[in-house]
Copies of this chain bind each other. A is one copy, B any other.
């Protein structure tokens, strides 16, 4: 469904920067015993059975070769189609999803999930960026959300478009488009809020009765 023949070249891909073209050593050192001594530490190798391509990607993001990816390394590696870095809130959202052991960094196992997630979203983004502008505009956003099962009213769609566009919306003309990072966040926010509403709406009548604490808890928990 995604990735059909394009009429013209796609915009610069969003997601991880610097495709894996750097020459990497063809043999990976097994992990050396790490302890005191005068020997230089060798970079830890991939886990047994790991996808070598994925390992190369992981290593290129792990700039200091620490064996784990920090937030800063992740933010450096993740770019939009217009070469801007992913915004902090999107990076924090990704960490909250994939830093499953909650130690503040992404290890190789966690990276595999993150990588897959970004690639899947890249395909979604390209599919719905029907005018190949490199950003998602109003109609494309509506189509994407509808395909995920969220049929928002025009006023709500307009709010989502304004909130996640990469520039303020001037009083005239259409709002600017939404870059990759903010598109992913917008979709996750709509999903999170809608599901929280549905969980609260136990009798399924489309209305909820909540107090201030519950209301703020729902809103502040969204990315």
Contacts and interface: CB of A to CB of B under 8 A. Distances in A.
Pick the most buried of A88, A209, A217: most chain B CB atoms within 10 A of its CB: A88
A215 B211 contact: no
A79 interface: no
A210 B209 CA distance: 7
A197 to B, nearest CB: 6
A168 B104 contact: yes
B197 A206 contact: no
Given A168-B104, A170-B103, A211-B206, A216 B96 contact: no
A159 B220 contact: yes
Given A71-B168, A208-B209, 8 more contacts: A71-B167, A92-B168, A99-B168, A104-B167, A159-B216, A163-B220, A197-B216, A206-B211
Interface string A134-171: 00000000000000000011011001100100111011
Interface of A: 71, 87-89, 91-92, 95-96, 99, 101-104, 152-153, 155-156, 159-160, 163, 166-168, 170-172, 193-194, 197, 201, 206-213, 215-217, 219-222
A91 B168 CA distance: 9
Contact of A156 (B159, B208, B220): B220
A212 B103 CA distance: 36
A221 B213 CA distance: 19
Contacts of A88: 87, 166
A152 B220 CA distance: 12
Nearest to A219: B219
